[in-house]
């Protein structure tokens, strides 16, 4: 039978007051009661826990044309929504080994619609092995699993050159096996996930991820690999672009590069993080390869910061570029010549296809300087300045911008509670 903690509290208080008025042999009795009450409250608190995080952010760039909106809504008007979000997590321990965890996140950029980012059932098989089933976050990056928790991140926003690649489909339905073990002074984590992800535009079937990381207190080393069969949801703008490309190329020798219904994608990443309490340094490299005309992409960043008491100034540099631009080479002509040739003797469809393909090409660098101020445990303020260069590509802009660079300033208040 389970005891009601509130009822228990009342009973204990009543018992305590009766005992103290009796005065005889009271001290022992009262302290036993109090101890019993403490134990019961602790047991209750241990079964159900609520944790939360929130970020209030403001971000603005110096790009004037509103059409050249930088990466999802950042332009020259101060945007209070893009970085603002709040999350709440509830964990209920059914017994010592089994728990249910749900995490709900409301993002400003989605009009604060609440979404279940995590919702899973976890069973701790033994001290080393645990199993999770449900909605999880893809463990592709060093920091991806707590990407939303601004307080745990050094920047106002992690570099999109690396973290933007799989951001849209970061949460998915999967099974996760995690095995932890010790190797001398190191603690090692191995993680295997299998699942399926679906967003508004893309579906990834048979998604498998394997990660290994080890930590000895200040140094963390990590390597990860994942693969999936990616396809597009029909009826979207990207799907229309792709079918235009397909129709222009369907009879050429590049047939094997034309987007198929299912395209195998592989992703791997390496990361190293050093944090001795004063010095923080992180380097991370990732590479994504997908069959067909889907862009292949490499990205990396290096960052360093040093804590002077509550202040931590930091610098970082990030870079991304598509590595298969030649497969979208505009000099390749479709053969045989297509019938709808325009004045230049080139197919309209073909030109459109080339244009669409080139919109996939990307090269972007970001240099960042910022400072974090730990106001008190659980509350941090950050101010960050980013200088972005996209060369002749569209980078992370919605379209190829008039100017090839942008400067962004952002400020966040990050909390955990």
Partner 1 sequence: MKKSLKSLVAALALTGAAQFANAGVAIVVGANSPLAAAPEGDVVKIFLGKKKDIGGSPVVPIDQAEGNNARNDFYTNVVKKSEAQLKSYWSRLIFTGKGQAPQVVGGDTDVKGMVASNPNLIGYIDAGAVDGTVKVIYKQ
User: Of 26, 91, 238, 266, which one interacts with partner 1 (CB under 8 A)?
Assistant: 91
Contact set for partner 1, span 297-336 (CB under 8 A): 310
Q: Which of 42, 98, 342, 407 binds partner 1 (CB under 8 A)?
A: 42
Site string for partner 1, 206-245 (x = CB under 8 A): ---------x-x----------------------------
Q: Which residue of 70, 120, 141, 360 would you call a contact of partner 1, by CB under 8 A?
A: 120
What is the rounded CA–CA span in Å between residue 170 and residue 194?
A: 14
CA distance 126 to 179: 10
Instruction: Report if residue 145 touches partner 1, rule: CB under 8 A.
Output: yes
CA–CA separation, 347 and 344 (whole Å): 8
Q: CA-to-CA distance for 365 and 359, rounded, in angstroms? A: 17
Establish if 155 lies at the interface with partner 1 (CB under 8 A): no
Residue 19 to residues 30, 32, 34, 37, 180: CA-CA distances in angstroms? 7, 11, 12, 15, 49
Q: To which H or E segment does residue 9 belong?
A: helix 5-22
Coil, strand, or helix at residue 247?
A: helix
Q: How far apart are CA 154 and CA 121, in angstroms?
A: 30
3-class secondary-structure state, position 329 = coil
Indicate whether 148 belongs to the interface with partner 1 (CB under 8 A): yes
Instruction: Decide if residue 193 touches partner 1 (CB under 8 A).
Output: no
Rounded Cα distance between 30 and 27, Å, is 5
Q: Considering only CA atoms, which of 309, 370, 364 is closest in space to residue 155? A: 370
Chosen residue from 26, 29, 78, 89 binding partner 1 by CB under 8 A: 89
Q: Tell the smallest beta-carbon distance from residue 416 to partner 1 (Å).
A: 5
Work out which of 18, 35, 198, 342 binds partner 1, going by CB under 8 A.
35
Q: Which residues bind partner 1 (CB under 8 A)?
A: 31, 35, 38-39, 42, 45-46, 49, 51, 53, 87, 89, 91, 101, 103, 118, 120, 122, 127, 132, 136-137, 145-146, 148-149, 151-152, 178, 180, 182, 185, 187, 215, 217, 277, 310, 374, 376-378, 380, 416
């Amino acid at each position: 039978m389970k005891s009601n903690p509130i009822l228990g509290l009342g009973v204990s208080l009543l018992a305590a007051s009766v005992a103290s008025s009796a005065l005889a042999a009271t001290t022992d009795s009262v302290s036993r009661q109090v101890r019993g009450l403490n134990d019961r409250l602790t047991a209750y608190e241990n079964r159900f826990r609520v944790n939360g995080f929130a970020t209030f952010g403001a971000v603005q760039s110096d790009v004037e044309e509103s059409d050249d909106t930088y990466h999802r809504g950042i332009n020259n008007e101060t945007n209070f929504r893009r970085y603002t979000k709040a999350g709440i997590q509830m964990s209920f321990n059914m017994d010592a080994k089994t728990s249910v965890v749900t995490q709900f996140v409301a993002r400003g950029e989605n009009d604060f619609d609440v979404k279940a980012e995590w919702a899973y059932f976890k069973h701790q098989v033994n001290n080393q092995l645990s199993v999770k089933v449900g909605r999880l976050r893809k463990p592709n990056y060093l920091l991806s699993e707590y990407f939303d928790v601004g307080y745990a991140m050094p920047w106002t926003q992690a570099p999109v050159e690396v973290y933007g690649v799989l951001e849209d489909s970061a949460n998915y339905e999967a099974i996760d096996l995690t095995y932890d073990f010790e190797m001398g002074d190191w603690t090692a984590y191995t993680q295997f996930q299998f699942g399926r992800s679906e967003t508004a535009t893309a579906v990834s079937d048979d998604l498998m991820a394997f990660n290994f990381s080890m930590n000895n207190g200040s140094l963390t080393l990590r390597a990860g690999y994942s693969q999936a069969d990616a396809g597009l949801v029909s009826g979207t703008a990207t799907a229309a672009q792709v079918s235009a490309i397909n129709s222009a190329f369907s009879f050429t020798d590049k047939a094997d590069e034309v987007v198929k219904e299912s395209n195998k994608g592989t992703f791997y990443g390496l990361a190293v993080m050093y944090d001795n309490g004063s010095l923080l340094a992180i380097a991370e490299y990732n590479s994504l390869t997908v069959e067909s005309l889907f862009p292949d992409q490499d990205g990396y960043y290096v960052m360093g910061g040093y804590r002077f008491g509550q202040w931590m100034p930091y610098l970082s540099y990030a870079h991304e570029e598509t590595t298969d631009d030649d497969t979208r080479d505009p000099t390749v002509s479709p053969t045989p010549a297509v019938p709808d040739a325009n004045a230049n003797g080139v197919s309209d469809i073909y030109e459109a296809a080339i244009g669409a393909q080139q919109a996939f090409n990307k090269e972007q660098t970001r240099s960042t300087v910022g400072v974090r101020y730990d106001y008190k445990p659980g509350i941090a303020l950050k101010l960050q300045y980013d200088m972005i260069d996209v060369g002749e590509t569209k980078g992370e802009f919605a379209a190829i911008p008039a100017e090839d660079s942008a400067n962004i300033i952002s400020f966040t208040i990050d909390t955990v509670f």
